[in-house]
A = this chain, B = another copy of it.
Amino acid sequence: MRPAKISESAVRRLSLYLRVLDAFELVGKTTVSSGDLAEVGGMTPAQVRKDLSHFGSFGKRGLGYPVSELRERVTEILGLGRRWRVGLVGAGKLGAALFFYDGFRGQGFDVVGVFDNDTGKIGQRWGRLVVEDIESMDRVVRATRIEMGIIVTPALSAQPVADLLIAAGVEAILNFAPTRLRVPPEITLRNVNLEIEVESLAFALTHENGV
C-alpha cells in the first residue's frame, strides 16, 4: 500500500508506536489494541487506528493488532528495515554527544564519517573513526556512500556545509545549527533548534494563568 500523503506528525507518532511495540514485545504481550497503544503513547485510539490504516489493515476486529507482526510492519514503513549511513559535520561537544549516543546505532543509523575544519580536532580518534578534514568530505561521502548528514556546526558554517553535503550526494539533512537552511526541494531537511525549544517554554510560562 502506497499512501498518498502522510503528515509529518503522523510519521513521528509511528516512531512512538514502535517504541511501545518494542516494550510490549519485551514483556511477551502478543496482541495490542489501539487503546493500549494510545494509552502509553499519549494519544487517542482513533488516531492510532487512523495512522496505521494509512498503510494497510494490520489488526483483527474484536482482537487488536499482533504485536510482533505490527512491529515488523512499522519498522518497514519507517524505513528501518535496513541500516543508514550517516555523516556528522562538526566535532564539537554536541557532535560528540550525538556520536556516542547509542540510540542512533540501535535504530539502524551508523555514523561512518565525522568532519570538522578545526585542525585541533582533525585527526582525533573517535571510537573506531578519525575526525576528518572537511576538505575531504566530498570524497569520503561519495566513497562511503553517506546518505544523511547531521550538521552540528556554528550557525555561520551551516549553509556552506549543507551545500557541500548536497553536492556530495547526501539526500537528507538533520540540522542542529540555529539557522534556516536553504536546500533544493528534493533534499529532506529537519531542524532541531534548541533555542526555539526553551523559548517556547518561556512563552508558555509567561502566558499561563493570565500573567
The residue from B6, B104, B196 contacting A198, defined by CB atoms under 8 A apart = B104
The smallest C-beta distance from A55 to any residue of chain B, in angstroms, reads 10
**0/1 per residue, A91-106, Cβ < 8 Å to B?**
0111011101101100
**Does residue A125 face the partner (Cβ distance < 8 Å to B)?**
no
Segment touching B, from A62-70, A128-136, A160-168, A187-195 = A187-195
Most buried by B among A94, A148, A190, A199: A199
**0/1 per residue, A66-95, Cβ < 8 Å to B?**
000000000001111000101000001110
* List of 4 A-B pairs having minimum Cβ-Cβ separation, nearest first: A79-B206, A79-B202, A93-B97, A188-B204
**Does residue A120 face the partner (Cβ distance < 8 Å to B)?**
no
Contact B178 A103 (CB under 8 A): yes
Bound complex: CA A38 to CA B203 (Å): 21
Contact B190 A197 (CB under 8 A): yes
Q: Which residue of B lies closest to A192 (CB)?
A: B197
**Does residue A200 face the partner (Cβ distance < 8 Å to B)?**
yes
Contact B41 A180 (CB under 8 A): yes
Contact A201 B188 (CB under 8 A): yes
* 15 further interface pairs, Cβ-Cβ under 8 Å (given A79-B203, A174-B197, A188-B201): A11-B200, A14-B203, A78-B202, A79-B207, A84-B198, A84-B202, A84-B205, A93-B100, A97-B97, A109-B202, A150-B198, A172-B204, A172-B205, A174-B198, A190-B200
The smallest C-beta distance from A181 to any residue of chain B, in angstroms, reads 9
Bound complex: CA A108 to CA B202 (Å): 10
The 18 sampled A-B contact pairs (Cβ below 8 Å) are A3-B207, A12-B200, A14-B203, A78-B202, A78-B203, A79-B206, A80-B202, A84-B198, A93-B93, A93-B101, A98-B194, A103-B194, A107-B199, A108-B202, A109-B202, A148-B201, A171-B205, A192-B192
**0/1 per residue, A1-24, Cβ < 8 Å to B?**
011001010011011101100000
Contact B94 A196 (CB under 8 A): no
